[in-house]
Every structure is written in structure tokens, then in C-alpha cells.
Amino acid sequence: MSTAAFEVAATASDVLNVIAAFAGGLFIAGALIWAVRLGMRVRDQEPPRPSPEEQPHLPVTGPVHEIREIREPDEVPQSERERLMPYELHHARTKRGKDQHRKRWLPGSSGGFGSGGIGHV
């Protein structure tokens, strides 16, 4: 084979590669256009967004704030039978404590490690 034949063969495969890349690009562009049109059709079928009057409002009493309370463990009731059934248990593992005053550290009674305090006296 001569050099000219090799050039023609190389050029032919390059043309096929370009045509394949162009066809692949057209396919991807068509798929993206189809997906956008499908999304627009689906969005048109959805119910309209609520108006500002239909949005939730604050209660008349004002915003709700968090409540801090001291909790203590809720003991599991003891049973004489083999086991307790789920309806015999409470829904939470803690209950509201009787004493609602926060416990404070006594000054000079303890110090954290490395705090420079004298520690427990």
C-alpha cells in the first residue's frame, strides 16, 4: 500500500468518528429537550401554589418557645408475671421531676481538670 492509501483510510475513520460524535451529541440534546418538556407537562398538572393568605400564621398568643424542665428517669413497673406487654409501659423513659430548680456547683467544692482550681476540698 502506498502512503496515499493510508491517508485515505485514516481520513475515512476520522470522518466516521466525527459523524458518530455528532449523532451522539444530537441524541443527548434531544433527550435533554424531551426531559425538560416532560417536566413542564408534569408541573402544569400539579395544583397551584398556595397564596400568601393560605400560608400558616403565628398563633394569637405569639410564637411558641421552648420549655426547660428538669427530667428524671421513669422507672419500669415491676410485674409478678413473666414479662410486660407494650401497652403496660410508658411512652417516654423520663418524667417531669418534682424539684424544678437547677442544681448549681458550690463555689470551691470542685474544679475541672486543668482549670487551675484547688479541686475538691
Rounded mean pLDDT, 64-89:
79
Q: In this predicted structure, what is the pLDDT of residue 37?
A: 98
Distance CA 71, CA 95 (A): 6
Q: In this predicted structure, what is the pLDDT of residue 36?
A: 98
Judged against a pLDDT cut of 80, whether residue 45 lies above it is answered with yes
Inter-residue long-range contacts of 91-99, CB under 8 Å, 24+ positions, other chains counted = 95/71, 96/69, 96/70, 96/71, 96/72, 97/69, 97/70, 97/71, 97/72, 98/72, 99/70
pTM above 0.75, yes or no: no
Q: In whole numbers, what is the pLDDT of the chain averaged over residues?
A: 80
C-alpha cell at 79: 410485674
Distance CA 13, CA 25 (A): 18
- Label residue 89 by pLDDT band (50, 70, 90): confident
